[in-house]
Structure 1
Amino acid sequence: MTTWPTVMVTGHRPQHLKPAVHAWVRSELDRLAVKLRDEHGMAVGVSGMAIGADLWWADAVICAGVKLDAHVPFPQQPDKWQKEDRDEWMRLCRAAWTLKTYGGYFDVKTLHARNDGMIKAADVAIAVHLPWKASGGTASAVEKLTGLGKPIIHVNPAARVTTIRMPQPTAA
C-alpha cells in the first residue's frame, strides 16, 4: 500500500465546469477523502481555498475528520464572491488546522506562490481537470506536479472518471 500523508487539490472554478457535473465532482472528492484517509494514510488535506474544487475538497477533508491546511493566496481572496461562497470560505478557514497566506493583496504571483507551496507540501495531488484545458492555474499546477514526478489522481469531470497517473520527472 502506498502511503500519502498529505494530499492537495487543484481544480477548475465552477464556471469552467458544466453545472450538471458539480454534484458528481463533490461526491467524488468526498469519496476520495475517505479512501485516501483509510487506504493511504492521508492525515492532512491541502486546499488553495478558491471556489469550486478547492472549497469542495476542503469540506470533504473536514467531513472525513482529516486536518485541513488552508493555503490562501491573499486575505481578500473571497471579497468579490457571492455571499454563500464567502461564508463557506470563512467557515472552512476557521475549521482549518493551519492557515498559510502568501501575500497581502491580489497579485498573480501570489496565486503561483500558493500553488507552489501546496505542491511542495503534498505527497500526491488530486487534479479536477478537463484534459483539453491547457491554460490557467490548474493546468500550470498539473505541469509542475508532472515535472516533479508527483502522483496525480485525475478527476475528469467531462468523462466522470477518476484515474491515477504516476508521472516520471522530466529531464532538466
Structure 2
Amino acid sequence: MIADRRTSVAFTGHRTYRGAAADALRRTVGELYARGFRTFLSGMAVGFDLAAAEAVLELRERMPGVRLVAAVPFRGQEMRFSPADRERFRRVLAEADSVEVLAPAYHRGCYAVRNDFLVDNARVLVAWYDGSPGGTRYTVRRALGRRLEVVNLCPAAPVPPAPEPTLFG
C-alpha cells in the first residue's frame, strides 16, 4: 500500500546495472529522505531495481519512517533470475514493508503494468537510464509526461524529452 504519492519515490533502471552509481544512489536516497520522502518503490528487477531497494533498506536502518514497497510484476518473477539474484530478491522481499504483486502469473505487458504502477504512485523517479530503448525509457518518458521529478544517475545519457500531450493523457 502506498501511503502518500507526494512523499513517494520510485526507481527504474537497466538490468545490466552493476553498481556503477552505488555511492550516488545511497546519497540520492538520503537526500530524498531529507526532503521528506518516506516511501520508496522498487520494481524488483535484477540490476538497478534491487540495488535501489537495498539502498533504501540501508537507510531504513538509520532513519525512522522509511518504507520499502516491492512492486512485483507477477508471482514467481524471481524464478527467471540466476540463483544468486533469486536469493537477493527473496531477501529484499522479506525485508520490504509492503509487497504489491500486480499479476498472478506472467502475461504480455506485465512489466509495463508494473512500470505504470511505479510512476502512478510516486512524485520522484530515480533512474539508471543510459538512453537505450526498453522499459526504462518507457518509464522515464511516462514520468516526465506526468510531470514527476526525474533524477538520472547514469551520466552516459540525457533524460529524453517528455512525450507530447494527447487528448487522453
Shorter-chain TM-score: which interval?
0.7 to 0.9
1:65-76 equivalence runs, <5 A: 65=60, 66-76=66-76
Query: Structure 1-normalised TM-score?
Result: 0.83
1:1-172 equivalence runs, <5 A: 5-14=7-16, 17=17, 22-38=18-34, 40-65=35-60, 66-131=66-131, 133=132, 135-158=133-156, 170-172=164-166
Q: Once the two structures are aligned, what percentage of the paired residues are identical?
A: 30
Partner deviation per Cα, 1:20-52 (whole Å, 9 max, x = no partner): xx33322221111111112x1110110000000
Structure 1 residue runs of 5 or longer lacking an equivalent are none
The 8 Å contact of residues 25 and 157 in structure 1, kept in 2 or not, is answered as no
Instruction: Rate the CA distance shift 1:111–1:169 in 2: closer, same or farther, 3 A.
Output: closer
Give, as a single letter, the amino acid of the residue that structure 1 aligns with 2:12. T
Give distance in 1, aligned partners of 2:146 and 2:152: 16
The 8 Å contact of residues 11 and 127 in structure 2, kept in 1 or not, is answered as yes
Query: Structure 2-normalised TM-score?
Result: 0.84
Give distance in 1, aligned partners of 2:84 and 2:91: 11
- Cα distance, 1:157 vs structure 2: 4.7
Runs of 4+ in 1 over 6 A off after TM superposition: none
Give distance in 2, aligned partners of 1:82 and 1:29: 24
Structure 2 residue runs of 5 or longer lacking an equivalent are 1-5, 61-65
